[in-house]
Amino acid sequence: MSESKLRFLVFGAHPDDIEFGCGGILLAEASRGSEIALCVCSRGEAGSNAAPNEREAEAREAAKLLGATIEFLELGGDCHLQISPANNIAVARRIRALRPDVLLAPVASLDQHPDHVIVSHLCRNGARLARYAGLAALRELPAHAVQHHLEYAITPGSEPPDHRGKIRVDISAHCVRWVEVMECHQTQLRTRRYVELQTARARLLGLEAGVEYAQALYATGDFLIQSLADLPASVRIF
């Protein structure tokens, strides 16, 4: 395993999206010394089962278990997110402020909560704006280009169909702790079996790849190599 540590900035729409969608990956990264910053775009104000301050407290607890910092971005609140120049710029401002190596965001598939889709687009737009030096609204912060912009799927139904070459991350060594992280969101687990759903999904992604558990990331662009020795392992089991 490589020794180089990375700086992560991870966006989610609601207080539990990140933990469910890529929590195991973040634990794997934290365990090798990477720095993780979470940026949550609402406090789950529309949820059926908890008040926003409870949701925020759960997310802060989960972030602590992840070894991550967490902040809440004010973009209008749960179910009130919108793609707008102001929101694109707000996301770009966080990217410039934190200067991550890796940006993680939800995928943009339509078949999921509309806030997930909107945060996906805000991150795509924000990552571009973070690079454009001339943008007056962001002039106080130097431009920044991330090294990797990858996406995660919060629910199985939002996994991009027919995506060849996706990245599976082995999270076998972190699965127990990942369950603990997800279980921080107790208010959300009263009516939906999210933890079982996510572990069944990680089990399937792992077994297909010959390991115990895996979570997937989707590239938003191509890769560039000097030699095929630079490629990660290919999955060819079944």
83: left (phi over 0), alpha (psi -120 to 50) or beta: beta
CA 11, 32, 179, 70 torsion-angle sign? negative
Query: What is the size of the binding site for a second copy (CB under 8 A)?
Result: 103
Please say whether the beta carbons of 51 and 21 come within 8 A.
no
The 208-237 site mask, x for binding a second copy (CB under 8 A), equals xxxx--x-xxxxxxxxxxxxxxxxxxxxxx
Please say whether the beta carbons of 120 and 106 come within 8 A.
yes
Among the residue ranges 27-35, 57-65, 66-74, 176-184, the one whose residues contact a second copy (CB under 8 A):
27-35
Computed on alpha carbons and rounded to an integer, the radius of gyration of the chain in Å comes to 17
Q: Which is nearer to a second copy, 176 or 229 (CB)?
A: 229
What does DSSP assign to residue 206? Answer: H
Task: Out of 93, 94, 96, 168, point to the residue binding a second copy (CB under 8 A).
Answer: 168
Task: Out of 44, 65, 90, 106, point to the residue binding a second copy (CB under 8 A).
Answer: 44
Sequence-separated (6 or more) residues with CB below 8 Å from residue 197: 155, 156
Q: How many CB atoms lie within 10 A of CB 146?
A: 20
The 120-159 site mask, x for binding a second copy (CB under 8 A), equals -x--xx--xx-xxxxxx------x-xxxxxx----xxx--
In the window 57-116, what residues touch a second copy (CB under 8 A)? 76, 78-82, 84-85, 88-89, 102, 108, 110-114
Task: Out of 53, 140, 162, 176, point to the residue binding a second copy (CB under 8 A).
Answer: 162
Nearest approach in angstroms of CB 185 to a second copy is 14
